[in-house]
Amino acid sequence: MEILIAGLGLIGGSAAKALARAGYVCDGYDLPAVVRQARAAGAIRAGAESFATYDVVLIALPPDAAMRLLDTETFKEGAVVADFCGVKGALEACVYASPRAYRYVGCHPMAGREVSGFANSLATLFDGASMIVCENERTDASAVRLLEGLYAQMGFASMPHCTAAYHDRKIAYTSQLAHIVSNAYVKSAAADGFAGFTGGSFQDMTRIAGVDEEVWSRLYMLDLPAAAEELAMLIAHLQEYLSALQAKDEPRLKALLREGRLRKEHLDREKKID
């Protein structure tokens, strides 16, 4: 089975290393310097000159670049082509806008680090992680099974299936909103001179503040309705806390904090059941 990984940054590079660890030989597609780096590390065999000879293509590029590639590249007929983008609806719309000879499956690895690039990729990045697999009436079941086999060997522990719309709603909350909150949180002047005044809370809140604005602004735009809805809901909840503080309404503040605590306890029980 000939495998190509398009994009050899943190995610694509980790995919290449994880597959190499599992005994697969893959080729890579990226800038020449990145391809040389990946070859020197033993993550790939060679750089790809054409996509048309590969049985499986894993695309680990930003959404716009992934859509251009899906729309214009020539793939082997019947090839399994999966993208790892953080939005799925826009990718599906691109693929299904015209007939395709390849078998497309939208996927999203729920793993990452605060750093990027091949130099920061890890063969162990996906160990124990979740790989979301998006399906619809046009998804080829045999392509999904093939990918699930590869993902298991790459270290993924679970592979939840859902529609692209469901994925985008959930990710707007679990990932996109979290990055906005962290990014906005560090803008306070109180953050200056924080050394010596933090336990773990500040580190937890700021860990993902350093977003790449070029990448993340596009993710928000491509998942705009869901991202905007989640942000509006958060602002409404925060306004409740602010109103209680401004009114010096301690009973109301206690009630709000209790609501949040009970909600967190409920989510923790759900996680244990899963």
pLDDT by residue (tens digit) across 251-271? 999 999 999 999 999 999 987
Residues 182 and 138 in one domain: no
Residues 149 and 190 in one domain: no
Residues 84 and 173 in one domain: no
What is the pLDDT confidence band of residue 163, given thresholds at 50, 70 and 90?
very high
Task: Determine which helix (DSSP H) or strand (DSSP E) holds 109, and give its type and residue range.
Answer: strand 103-110
Residues 140 and 26 in one domain: yes
In the prediction, which pLDDT does 219 show? 95
- Beta strand 103-110 with 130-134 is antiparallel
Residues 145 and 181 in one domain: no
Give the span between the Cα atoms of 135 and 141, in whole angstroms: 9
- In the numeric block, which tokens belong to residue 272? 């244990």
Instruction: Read off the CATH number of the domain in which 228 is found.
Output: 1.10.3660.10
Residues 262 and 172 in one domain: yes
Q: Which of 144, 162, 180 is the last residue of a domain?
A: 162
Q: Which of 145, 162, 179 is the last residue of a domain?
A: 162
Residues 231 and 260 in one domain: yes
- Kindly give the residue spans of alpha helices, DSSP state H, lying in the chain: 10-21, 32-40, 63-72, 89-95, 141-154, 164-171, 178-185, 201-206, 213-222, 224-246, 250-273
Residues 150 and 129 in one domain: yes
Q: Which of 162, 197, 226 is the last residue of a domain?
A: 162
Count of domains observed in the chain: 2
Residues 115 and 102 in one domain: yes
Residues 215 and 82 in one domain: no
The whole-number average pLDDT for the span 121-148 is 97
Domain coverage including residue 249: 167-273
What is the pLDDT confidence band of residue 74, given thresholds at 50, 70 and 90?
very high
Write down the mean pLDDT value for the chain.
Answer: 95
Residues 136 and 225 in one domain: no
In the prediction, which pLDDT does 248 show? 98
Q: What is the pTM of this model?
A: 0.90
Residues 254 and 121 in one domain: no
Burial of 141 (0-12, 13-18, 19+ CB in 10 A): exposed
